[in-house]
Structure 1
Amino acid sequence: MPALSTPALAVPALADLAPLESRVQEALTGSPYLVASNRLRVEAGEGRVSLHGHVGSFFEKQMAQEVARRIDGVQQVENLLTVAWA
């Protein structure tokens, strides 16, 4: 008779336990597409993320939004970044 196996308990990854705001900020900081990600501020709550600050191009603005959008738990991104031409 085959042994019965019990289903494994779903244990969230450590990254899933971090607040949404922290996970988004970490992803932005680690993105190779964002030159000055340290000048970006993230506000998050209940699946909504707001991006604040200045970037150097419209490409960076769009990439910041895409990076944030791909984080688990993000349902909506409000991109309030401004492009500061150098």
Structure 2
Amino acid sequence: MSHSPLLHRIDRVIQSSPHAPRRKVFLESAAGRIVLRGKVDSFYQKQMIQESLRGIEGVERICNQLEVEEPR
């Protein structure tokens, strides 16, 4: 992951979120477009992570490719 100021801000938000499983969410960024990848436990987590990024300056578009893991 690049260490651009935008990705650093996004990473801080995700790491402080109670909805984001640590080390399971990965980011990519290009020209204000953020791609979320990884695995989460529920659709709710997927949506809450996406919504937590909407207010960050510089984020123009979010492509949420997080996958909801099947319960074991």
What range is the shorter-chain TM-score in? 0.7 to 0.9
Q: Which has the higher strand share?
A: 2
Query: Identity, % of aligned pairs?
Result: 37
Divergent runs of 4+, >3 A: none
Runs of at least 5 residues in structure 1 that lack an aligned partner in the other structure: 1-17
Q: For residue 53 of structure 1, report the CA deviation from its aligned partner.
A: 0.1
TM-score, normalization: structure 1? 0.72
| C-alpha contact 1:55 1:84 (8 A) present in aligned 2 | yes
Over aligned residues, Cα RMSD in angstroms? 1.3
Alignment partner, residue 36 of structure 2: 51
TM-score, normalization: structure 2? 0.84
Larger radius of gyration: 1
Runs of at least 5 residues in structure 2 that lack an aligned partner in the other structure: none
